[in-house]
Structure 1
Amino acid sequence: MKSVSEFADSRAATDALLAILREGHLSPPAVARFLGRAAHRSLRQAANRPRALVELTVLHGLLLVLAAGRRPGRLWVATSWALAAAHLGLLERRERLTAADTLTLIRANLPALPCGASRWSGPLAITLDLADGPLARRHGTASPFGDYADTFADAAYWTWLALRHEPSRTVRAAAVAAWALPVVTVTGIALRRGAMPERPRPTLLRPAAAMQGIVALRHLIRR
């Protein structure tokens, strides 16, 4: 197996890391090697992009101030920072965050912010979601970082909103199926194949797109 350092491309590096788990049959030593090499690569990639790391830290510092005294609050924001900092290598040739990346990260942290529980948080999340993709494409700044951050922002925010504020068990179950289940499924496929699968396309045809409108509307008219 080729070493991770032989791959310049972020996807190839991720596939190389996943191959460690596949070839080791998810044994404890394989998991330990995977975590060690992943952590080493994350630290190296973050160090190679100091401007992006500073921008990421400043943004999450501001979010921490807004999240003070709330639940899940600061723990949610700190987790967001750690996950984003660990994946700065997905920026590939870029050395800084873009406006689209910032909108995506703000959307991911809505549950920790004062506006997160308001009845307008659903429409706000949809607006941010509709804005970040075209913004990235218009300025030619799309990257795997933004792509995967968008997926996990959706899964985090909408699953939280449904489980925290949706009274219908049916809608809650549908929300988990629409957002959490795809993440678990893709992760399972990646572990089995030892390589990252392609995301479902186009986005608007996925069940999650319709569920956003349903959950947001129910939350808006219920309060």
Structure 2
Amino acid sequence: MRVADLTDSRAATDALLGHLRQGRWSPRAVARFLWLAGDRSVRQAARRPQALVQITAAHGLLAGLARNKRPGPGWVAASWALSVLHLGLLEERDHLSAADALTLVRGNLPATALGSTRWAGVAAIALDVADGRLARHQHTVTPFGDYADTFADAAFWIWLTLCHEPNRLVRAAAITAWALPVVTVTAIGIRRGTMPERPRPTLLRPAAAMQGIVALRHLLRK
């Protein structure tokens, strides 16, 4: 079966990474990997027109709320592209859940006016708690929502830290807490040729603690 036809997102990812590893990460292997990944992404999006419309509509609304200054509309456009290219992670579902929508809003806070206020960190934490509880209550947890949650956290908190945190030690700790797990999991997957398990929640507590620290410092900063 072709990679594009695999319905299980993990099996498809493993197959793609396997092609990359077999090609010894050569330029030709990387090009083939990107081609196959893009082909699958387009096919999976086409199979889920409802989700595609939902993502486009949601990002259209977010673009309307985006500030004219950076990161603004460019951030929203990047979020839309990444969301569309990963619709295969919805697996058997053909639409977004309410929890998914809240996750997308959280990931796009930097582009909105709220992102420029001292309440941005508090709002991100509130949205994070809300989408997690909603997904569990409605039984709508999917790989799409799981990974969207991880990348929304990394994108928002790294942005907030780099743009608004003056303390170098806090910046270094925050970037390490959010970027290191993403980089590590990606590197392991490419090296092994299979997608590794994500770090367990207990291993992500430093990132949760950093959220509180960064959000509180940002809220109290004059």
TM-score bracket, shorter-length normalisation: over 0.9
Matching residue's letter, 1:69: N
**Aligned to 1:196, what secondary structure does the other structure show?**
coil
Alignment partner, residue 27 of structure 1: 26
Q: Secondary structure at the match of 1:94?
A: coil
The alpha-carbon deviation at position 85 of structure 1 amounts to 0.2
Note closer, same or farther for the CA distance 1:56–1:43 as it changes in structure 2 (3 Å cut). same
Runs (4+) of structure 1 moved beyond 3 Å?
Answer: none
TM-score by length of 2: 0.97
* 2:136 corresponding residue in structure 1: 137
- Counterpart CA distance in 2 for 1:13 and 1:23 is 15
Does the aligned pair in 2 maintain the 1:3–1:16 contact within 8 Å? no
Distance 1:221 1:64 in 2: 29
Q: Structure 2: how far apart are the matches of 1:147 and 1:205?
A: 14
Structure 1, unaligned stretches of length 5 or more? none
Per the alignment, residue 127 of structure 1 pairs with 126
Whole-Å separation in 1 of the counterparts to 2:61 and 2:115: 15
Residue in 2 aligned with 1:82? 81
Q: Show the counterpart of 1:67.
A: 66
Give the aligned partner of residue 50 of structure 2: 51
SS of residue matched to 2:95:
coil
**In 2, Cα distance between equivalents of 1:108 and 1:11:** 23
2:147 aligned with 1:148: yes
Instruction: Tell me, in whole angstroms, the C-alpha distance in 1 between the residues paired with 2:5 and 2:88.
Output: 14
Residue 8 in structure 1 maps to residue 7 in structure 2: yes
User: What is aligned with 1:94?
Assistant: 93
- Aligned-pair Cα RMSD in Å: 1.2
CA distance in 1, matches of 2:147, 2:199: 12
Deviation digits for residues 136-190 of structure 1 (CA, Å, limit 9, x no counterpart): 1111111000000000000000000000000000000001100011111111001
Report 1:174-185 matches (<5 A).
174-185=173-184
Contact 1:67 1:73 in 2 (8 A): yes
List gaps (5 residues or longer) in structure 2. none
* Contact 1:19–1:194 (Cα < 8 Å) also in 2: yes
Q: Is residue 222 of structure 1 aligned with residue 221 of structure 2?
A: yes
Give TM-score scaled by structure 1 length.
Answer: 0.96
How many residue pairs match? The answer is: 222
**Closer, same or farther: CA 71–5 of 1 in aligned 2, 3 Å:** closer
Tell me, in whole angstroms, the C-alpha distance in 2 between the residues paired with 1:160 and 1:80: 14
The amino acid that maps onto 1:23 is: Q
